Structure 1
Amino acid sequence: MYFPRRWASTLFALVEQGGTAIVSTPYHGYWKNLAMAVTGKMDGHFSVLWDHDHIKFWSVDTLDRLLREAGFGDIRLRRVERIPALAKSMVAIARK
C-alpha cells in the first residue's frame, strides 16, 4: 500500500452510511518486533530482497488512527493467530 490515507478515504467512500468495513493486515507491534530482533529473525522478516513484499507494517494504534482519520468510528481491532503480543495478523471492524 503506497498511499495509506488515499486507500482509507477510498474505503470510506465505498462503504454505505451505517455500513461496516472489515480489514485484515499483517500485525507488527512492539513485542513482536522485539521478539524477532532478539531471536535474529528481523532481517529474514523484513528482507529488502523480496520482490513485491509489504512496504507498510501496522500496529493496532497505527491502523486505528488511519481508520479514524478517514472518518470511521466504532473501530474494533483483534489480533489473530498466536498470542496477541506475537500475533501474525489483525482484523479491524469499522463502522461508517
Structure 2
Amino acid sequence: MSDIYNALATSSRLLGHHSTETLADYRDSLDDAEIAVNRALHLIGNLILEAEQSDCYSDKESRRDLVAIGSVLRNLPRLAQALNYNSKEIEYELKRRKGVSQ
C-alpha cells in the first residue's frame, strides 16, 4: 500500500537534472521541514498534556482534537522519513558531482 513516503521520496536519478545550487537549496528546505515535523510532534504531546489538565476543555472539543491529532500522528513520521530520504539523496548527488567518494 502506498503512503505519503512513497509519494514524496525522490530517486537520485531524478535529481541529476537539477543544478547544484537548486539541489543545495532543496536539501536545506528538506532538513528544515524535517525539523518542523519533529517539533510538531513535540507540540502535540505538550497540547495533549495541557488539555488533560484543563477544567474548561469539553469532551466534544477533546474528541475533535484527538481525531485531528490522530491524523497528524499517522502521517508525520512517514513524511519526516521522506524528507530525510530526499535530503540524503541530494547530499549523495552533490558529493558525486564534487567527486567525493562515500
Task: Name the larger-Rg structure.
Answer: 2
- Structure with the higher fraction of residues in helix conformation: 2
The structure whose RCO (Cα within 8 Å, separation 6+) is larger is 2
| TM-score normalised by the chain length of structure 1 | 0.39
- Structure with the higher fraction of residues in strand conformation: 1
| TM-score normalised by the chain length of structure 2 | 0.37
